[in-house]
Chain A
Amino acid sequence: EAIDEERKVHIVYLGSLPDNKVYSPMSHHLGLLEKVVESNFAAKILTRSYKRSFSGFAAKLTDQEKERLANMKEVVSVFPNRLLQPQ
């Protein structure tokens, strides 16, 4: 129910890719999001999936959703997106 302005992009870092060959990162990422938002909404707030060299995703989250994800055993860390600059 949170309006878009209340959501901020966060990186949900899940660490190394599992060795399991049938592992589907996308469904894993959506599955995790579906634990904190309604299933039909998860795809809308997922902005990026990391799936080739390590696992994780970026999603527009409220503070509450961020906390819930951060407390999940399989989530390594959740940190806010920020801007870097050319040097």
Chain B
Amino acid sequence: TTRSWDFVGLNGKTKRNRSVESDTIIGVIDTGIWPESESFKDHGFGPPPKKWKGACEGGKNFTCNKKLIGARFYGSLYDSARDDEGHGTHTASTAAGNTVNDVSFYGLAQGTARGGVPSARIAAYKVCGIEGCPTDAILAAFDDAIADGVDIITISLGSPDVALLQNDPIAIGAFHAMTKGILTSNSAGNSGPTASKVASVAPWILTAAASSSDRRIIDKVILGNGKTLVGASVNTFRLNGTSFPLIYGKDASRQCSEIAAASCQDGCLESGLVKGKVVLCDLAYGVDEAYRSGAVGSILKVDWDDDSQILPFPATTFSDKKFNVIKSYYKNSTKDAQVNLQRSEVERDAAAPLVASFSSRGPNSILPEIIKPDISAPGITILAAFSPTASITESSDDTRHVNYNILSGTSMACPHVAGAAAYVKTFHPDWSPAAIKSSLMTTASPMNAAQTSYNAAGEFAYGSGHINPVQAIDPGLVYEAFKQDYINLLCLVLNQTDVRLISGDNSTCSTGSDKGSLQDHNYPSLAAVVAPNKSFSVKFHRTVKNVGPANSTYNAKILANSTQVDIKVEPEVLSFKSLNEEKTFTLTAVGKGLSNEQHSHVTALLVWSDGIHSVRSPIVIHNN
């Protein structure tokens, strides 16, 4: 990617452990990969790491190299691991693509493309075809990736529906990966901003929300009255600064209903009425009809304008308020409305990082005591490698093909999180998946928590904050967890039989008073569910491990905006005498009661600080 890694602090000058990075293998379970991409050339790479037990079984016309060391595919409807869609190529290059100079999308977002760990190796597991990504193939890819010896798995796949953990192949596969020391990063889903839609809910997975970076792609429209409006789309076409007549879809159709025509539904627009004009459409999908009917361009309405989608011909998108300004201008200048569509440009976005409107929100509907998503990473207008044969938009009329494309989604955030995790692992190869996860979560940078129309969910939208990989290599303390800790957690919400469905072994659940509570799982963020309109007192027990200087003393600090909750930490000081020493503490949150409004919650922040390290954990008390 050309900007996002710099934005999160991993730039070309960042301290790296290159020899270990070169021995790090990222497993990418996705739509395949384009092996000939510049981002996957093997210039300067040595032979695959000794631990690699995988193979290049990429199929027909597919060759691996010393960068792309492994490939497998799992579908009967395709004959190679080659990526026909571009998605897997994009995610793989985001996580671990080479440094490639001077790339852009038709001159936009120009720069040096680079993955999070450019010296790392890639193993691609193609599980998706045109029909989607079958879960039997996904499980097969996990089966292979774990045995092949990958270090980190990134899987930018999901469903709008939340599955029970025992029926969720990503949760099952990632559980086995975790037991072998492999951390899995998974996309939160694109079902935002509706609450409780996050589909990746397992506590052993690192779940990625999508956020903005400081590069925003905009396009301007100048109305005939001189007013300029800033739209949100990627429009690479030049109309030579000329203004064109504007026509509303409902005035460009005689055979469709007013609503259908205003939306520019398929078959509604009449070529004779739109030719040489810019068409105003009430829905974004009207762009194809506008294009096909011979319009010069189109102005479209979208629900949210924080993401810029590529459009197949000169067009731009506006959310409700700005779109209505254009509609009013059109109404008030009946026969003489003119618009000038400008080519997209890049501007600095000082509001970043802001969570994306589309990014799936919590609360976690399966385990509400575990905050999901866990962390945010850039996922809006990310420029990365792409398959040159794939379509760049969904429009069948768009014949453009590129080697680097701009995509948005939690799919794009997920490999950023995986790349950051791999970066941490290059400094701490022996750290457990939970320790790496903890280091990323407790060092995450604050998000922009401005209360926009889609940003009210706070931690339920962005988790612990924005990835800060450079800080994450030196977190000071980590919240450790191993297989048995996850089993103990599951035993609190599932019966022993169901726990075994996930662990796949003869794990036993203890009975009686030693079961512990859901608040006691050693997670790097803290959440509890309380009954509405009732006073509450919730205790969390946690253990932190010293991974910083042997002799260090940490003081607890609570940052809370709300007077609804009183939080105490006992003890308030933790003194360590050696590396890897563990200390426990108890956090008690007392409140008079939350309202019974849906998803009512209070938040605070626990910070352990030794003056150098700042170990931050969000605390969320909610009524679920």
Chain A residues close to B by CB (< 8 Å): 9, 11, 13-16, 47-48, 50-56, 58, 76-77, 79, 81-87
Given contacts A76-B504, A77-B501, contact A84 B138 (CB under 8 A): yes
Tell me, in angstroms, the Cα distance from A79 to B169 when the chains sit together: 10
- Return 8 A-B CB contacts under 8 Å, by A number: A47-B136, A53-B177, A81-B134, A84-B134, A86-B133, A86-B409, A87-B187, A87-B410
Given contacts A9-B136, A52-B144, contact A79 B85 (CB under 8 A): no
Please determine whether A15 and B504 come into contact, CB atoms closer than 8 angstroms: yes
| Chain A residues whose CB sits within 8 angstroms of the CB of B503 once the complex forms | 15-16
Tell me, in angstroms, the Cα distance from A9 to B137 when the chains sit together: 11
How many inter-chain residue pairs (CB < 8 Å) link A and B? 102
Interface size on B, residues (CB 8 A): 45
Tell me, in angstroms, the Cα distance from A86 to B128 when the chains sit together: 8
Asked if B176 lies at the interface with its beta carbon under 8 angstroms from chain A, I say yes
| CB contact list, B485-502 vs A, under 8 A | 500-501
Please determine whether A11 and B30 come into contact, CB atoms closer than 8 angstroms: no
Please determine whether A85 and B140 come into contact, CB atoms closer than 8 angstroms: no
Q: From B160, which residue of chain A is reached at the shortest CB distance? A: A85
Q: Among the listed stretches B151-159, B236-244, B553-561, which one makes contact with chain A, having 4 or more residues with CB under 8 Å of it?
A: B151-159
Please determine whether A84 and B136 come into contact, CB atoms closer than 8 angstroms: no
| Chain B residues whose CB sits within 8 angstroms of the CB of A84 once the complex forms | 132-135, 138, 157-159, 170
Please determine whether A53 and B505 come into contact, CB atoms closer than 8 angstroms: no
| Chain A residues whose CB sits within 8 angstroms of the CB of B170 once the complex forms | 84
| CB contact list, B169-191 vs A, under 8 A | 169-170, 172, 176-177, 180, 187, 189-190
| CB contact list, B355-370 vs A, under 8 A | none
Asked if B143 lies at the interface with its beta carbon under 8 angstroms from chain A, I say yes
Asked if B167 lies at the interface with its beta carbon under 8 angstroms from chain A, I say yes
Q: How far is the CB of B174 from chain A (nearest CB, A)?
A: 11
Given contacts A15-B505, A85-B158, A87-B190, contact A58 B132 (CB under 8 A): no
Please determine whether A48 and B140 come into contact, CB atoms closer than 8 angstroms: yes
Given contacts A9-B134, A15-B504, A79-B167, contact A86 B139 (CB under 8 A): no
Q: How far is the CB of B166 from chain A (nearest CB, A)?
A: 6
Given contacts A13-B501, A86-B30, A87-B156, contact A51 B135 (CB under 8 A): no
Please determine whether B134 and A50 come into contact, CB atoms closer than 8 angstroms: no
Question: Knowing that A16-B176, A76-B501 are A-B contacts, what are 10 other residue pairs whose CB atoms are under 8 Å apart, sorted by A's residue number?
Answer: A11-B135, A52-B147, A53-B142, A53-B177, A54-B143, A58-B140, A81-B134, A82-B159, A85-B132, A86-B133
| Chain B residues whose CB sits within 8 angstroms of the CB of A55 once the complex forms | 504
| Chain B residues whose CB sits within 8 angstroms of the CB of A51 once the complex forms | 143
Tell me, in angstroms, the Cα distance from A81 to B137 when the chains sit together: 9
9 closest pairs, A vs B, by CB?
Answer: A15-B504, A83-B132, A52-B147, A53-B146, A58-B136, A87-B411, A87-B187, A79-B167, A77-B501
Tell me, in angstroms, the Cα distance from A9 to B169 when the chains sit together: 14
| Chain B residues whose CB sits within 8 angstroms of the CB of A58 once the complex forms | 136, 139-140
| Chain A residues whose CB sits within 8 angstroms of the CB of B180 once the complex forms | 53
Q: From A53, which residue of chain B is reached at the shortest CB distance? A: B146
| CB contact list, B578-617 vs A, under 8 A | none
| Chain A residues whose CB sits within 8 angstroms of the CB of B30 once the complex forms | 86
Q: From B164, which residue of chain A is reached at the shortest CB distance? A: A79
Asked if B31 lies at the interface with its beta carbon under 8 angstroms from chain A, I say yes
Tell me, in angstroms, the Cα distance from A30 to B418 when the chains sit together: 37
Tell me, in angstroms, the Cα distance from A77 to B414 when the chains sit together: 29
Please determine whether B167 and A77 come into contact, CB atoms closer than 8 angstroms: yes
Most buried by A among B30, B143, B158: B143
| Chain A residues whose CB sits within 8 angstroms of the CB of B138 once the complex forms | 84
| Chain B residues whose CB sits within 8 angstroms of the CB of A81 once the complex forms | 134-136
Please determine whether B500 and A86 come into contact, CB atoms closer than 8 angstroms: no
Tell me, in angstroms, the Cα distance from A84 to B74 when the chains sit together: 14
Please determine whether A83 and B504 come into contact, CB atoms closer than 8 angstroms: no
Asked if B131 lies at the interface with its beta carbon under 8 angstroms from chain A, I say yes
Q: How far is the CB of A73 from chain B (nearest CB, A)?
A: 11
Please determine whether A82 and B135 come into contact, CB atoms closer than 8 angstroms: yes
Tell me, in angstroms, the Cα distance from A48 to B138 when the chains sit together: 11
Q: From B414, which residue of chain A is reached at the shortest CB distance? A: A87
| Chain A residues whose CB sits within 8 angstroms of the CB of B74 once the complex forms | 48
Please determine whether A48 and B136 come into contact, CB atoms closer than 8 angstroms: yes
Tell me, in angstroms, the Cα distance from A7 to B410 when the chains sit together: 34
| CB contact list, B377-424 vs A, under 8 A | 409-411, 414
Most buried by A among B135, B411, B505: B135
Q: How far is the CB of A17 from chain B (nearest CB, A)?
A: 9
| Chain A residues whose CB sits within 8 angstroms of the CB of B409 once the complex forms | 86-87
Please determine whether A85 and B143 come into contact, CB atoms closer than 8 angstroms: no
Q: How far is the CB of B619 from chain A (nearest CB, A)?
A: 28
Please determine whether B133 and A83 come into contact, CB atoms closer than 8 angstroms: yes
Tell me, in angstroms, the Cα distance from A56 to B189 when the chains sit together: 27
Q: How far is the CB of B86 from chain A (nearest CB, A)?
A: 10
Most buried by B among A82, A85, A87: A87
| Chain A residues whose CB sits within 8 angstroms of the CB of B135 once the complex forms | 11, 81-84
| Chain B residues whose CB sits within 8 angstroms of the CB of A13 once the complex forms | 172, 501, 504
Q: Which one of A11, A52, A87 contacts B189 once the chains associate, using CB atoms below 8 Å?
A: A87
| Chain A residues whose CB sits within 8 angstroms of the CB of B189 once the complex forms | 87
Please determine whether B157 and A86 come into contact, CB atoms closer than 8 angstroms: yes
| Chain A residues whose CB sits within 8 angstroms of the CB of B166 once the complex forms | 77, 79
| Chain B residues whose CB sits within 8 angstroms of the CB of A14 once the complex forms | 504
Please determine whether A83 and B131 come into contact, CB atoms closer than 8 angstroms: yes
Q: How far is the CB of B569 from chain A (nearest CB, A)?
A: 37
Please determine whether B501 and A50 come into contact, CB atoms closer than 8 angstroms: no
Tell me, in angstroms, the Cα distance from A49 to B329 when the chains sit together: 63
Tell me, in angstroms, the Cα distance from A55 to B505 when the chains sit together: 11
Please determine whether A86 and B411 come into contact, CB atoms closer than 8 angstroms: yes
Tell me, in angstroms, the Cα distance from A83 to B414 when the chains sit together: 19
Most buried by A among B134, B159, B166, B180: B134
Tell me, in angstroms, the Cα distance from A55 to B176 when the chains sit together: 11
| Chain A residues whose CB sits within 8 angstroms of the CB of B142 once the complex forms | 53
Tell me, in angstroms, the Cα distance from A31 to B562 when the chains sit together: 61
| Chain A residues whose CB sits within 8 angstroms of the CB of B159 once the complex forms | 82-85
Q: Which one of B143, B172, B411, B501 contacts A52 once the chains associate, using CB atoms below 8 Å?
A: B143
